[in-house]
Chain A
Amino acid sequence: MIGPAGPSWWRVPLELLDRLPLVHVRSGVSAAEWNIIWQIRMPRVVLAALVGAMLSVAGAGYQGVFRNPLVDPYLLGVAAGAGLGATVVFSLNRNNTLHWVVDPLPVAAFAGALLAVLVTYVVGTAFGSMRSSTTLVLAGVAVTSLATAIQTFVLQRNNDVVRQVYSWILGRLSSATWADVRLVLPYISISLVVLLMHRRLLDVMRIGDEEATALGTNVRRVRLIVVLAATLGTAAAVAVSGLIGFVGIIVPHAVRLLAGASYKKVLPLSILLGAAFLVAADIPSRVLADPAETPIGIVTAFFGAPFFLMLLRTRDTSR
């Protein structure tokens, strides 16, 4: 609805209303303006909602299985793996001289993210007894460092693409198309459904591995499934939107402060709030540096951090 080009903001809901069957409203939106709405704005809004929901619920899921409130969806190397994949594509394709059948960027980012988490999981479970999840987290740290090191090395040799990579790392929804939406929809849907199905078990996990086991829960299996589902969805989100930081931590925490810490509330509400948050954050990203784009990762951090501090303060005084 809001952006540098296109019809006045108030005409958009009228036009959308008009497009509904059996409803006729004169919105005064021209055919060209309708194209902007439907081909440029809409996929962007839908993608923002999907990515926001995914990152938020993945963050909540990771925080649940690792029983650590500071964990974000990029914990096990998703970000670094995707970054490496994207860097390689930018470096190989710096002049758009290569022609692939599909856009290689999301594919490479997705593959890099999954590969990184796979390595983390194999290394973490091979060397650790898995009595605690600490080994896995440390393996994630190691894999992240390794992938970042390789990425830096590749960048050093191709420093003309630094700018492109950097802007990708800060997150982008600007080039969203319906093709992007179709690309991520299956992965994000599967991931959201699987995570939602684990909401009760994530509450059981809150009393720790030992007591959850004594209550008849297969803790390792729950952790594995939740991590895989969250990773699959996060990798898909990262592949089309780059690294949008902060959402996976701030949204689940905001929900906890507002509605309580039970995952039966945290997961579904994180989906809603996460979608709303990222759609809202995308508006300043379109207009702040009008007509240029501000990377959405900057917006989420810039508005998210103070909002989060305010929430923490409100809770402190209400106690």
Chain B
Amino acid sequence: MTVLGFCDLGISYGAVPAVASFNDILHSGEWLCLIGPNGAGKSTVLKAAAGLVSYSGSIAIDQQEIAKKSARWRAQHIAYVPQVPVIPTDMSVHEYVMLGRNPYISHFATESANDRDVVERVLNRLDLVSFARRTLGTLSGGERQRLVIARALAQEAPVLLLDEPTSALDIGHQQQALELVDGLRREHGLTVVSAMHDLTLAGLYADRLVLMHQGFRVREGTAQHVLRAETLAEFYGVSARVHHEPDGTVVVIPQRAASK
């Protein structure tokens, strides 16, 4: 089943084009990773789908154009985790996860019993129950990242957008966060679109990679297909070796200029 479709998507900031003629179709449960150098337009695609920037062309969920739907409808179908989330240090963990229920609560109403149940389940699933009364200021970076994912999960949206979900984490917490997302997408059939800089991790978790460069899609496919030394040299200007493990994992190893 088609869940998320981009058709001839174009986005510009003022007169500056950021993304042009972007097309893609994602299936339910698929994980697509957008890669590319800084300024390639990865985050911009995610922001358009999250309703934060206006666009030309179409972004649709189950063939329903999101621009024609209400903001609440969009938030019920698309959850967005920004690159640097705003963390109100004096807010409690429970309150923060409850914010994810905002799309289901009408303007002046308060949380229903169902909203509280959902938050309870999410806190349980992500092992955050013992944190529920703590304030955000007391959490570590890894715990915060888990919390932001918890808030997105409380939205119960079929599509999850992750902008650089691991850029602020150490290697252990990177793995933890991505394993968590991967587990959740298998449990709930979530469709995931992430933008990532770590190419090895991107190849490890995503079903499919899309390489963007100056607003255009330039390569698309599996990690083996997209992550090639000559491709990376062309679009990132990087000198790197690409190593293929026997299990199919693709490892990107940057090289020092002096060793050439």
Contact = CB atoms under 8 A, between A and B. Distances in A.
Given A201-B107, A204-B99, A256 B90 contact: yes
Contacts of B105: 200
Interface residues of B, number: 32
Given A200-B110, A207-B85, A214 B90 contact: no
Contact of A262 (B71, B74, B95): B95
A261 interface: yes
Contacts of B244: none
A256 B89 CA distance: 13
A36 B16 CA distance: 71
Centre residue among A206, A208, A212, A214 by max chain B CB count within 10 A: A214
Contacts of A145: none
B75 interface: yes
Contacts of A214: 50-52, 75, 78, 80, 82
A208 B86 CA distance: 6
Contacts of A102: none
B201 to A, nearest CB: 24
B113 to A, nearest CB: 16
B102 A204 contact: yes
B99 A207 contact: yes
B72 interface: yes
A203 B103 contact: no
A214 B86 CA distance: 13
A314 interface: no
A148 interface: no
A260 B195 CA distance: 36
A212 B80 CA distance: 11
Contacts of B100: 215
B91 A217 contact: no
B90 to A, nearest CB: 4
Interface in B83-121: 85-86, 88, 90-92, 95-96, 99-100, 102-103, 105, 107-111
A201 B71 CA distance: 14
B75 A211 contact: no
Contacts of A201: 107
Nearest to B14: A129
Contacts of B82: 210-211, 214
A-B CB proximity, top 8 nearest: A216-B75, A216-B72, A208-B86, A216-B103, A261-B90, A214-B80, A215-B102, A214-B50
Interface of B: 50-52, 70-76, 78, 80, 82, 85-86, 88, 90-92, 95-96, 99-100, 102-103, 105, 107-111, 155
14 contacts: A198-B108, A203-B99, A204-B99, A204-B102, A206-B86, A208-B86, A213-B71, A214-B80, A214-B82, A216-B76, A216-B103, A260-B92, A261-B90, A261-B91
Given A216-B72, A262-B95, 19 more contacts: A197-B108, A200-B109, A201-B107, A204-B99, A207-B85, A207-B86, A210-B52, A211-B82, A213-B51, A214-B52, A215-B75, A215-B99, A215-B102, A215-B103, A215-B155, A216-B75, A216-B103, A256-B90, A261-B88
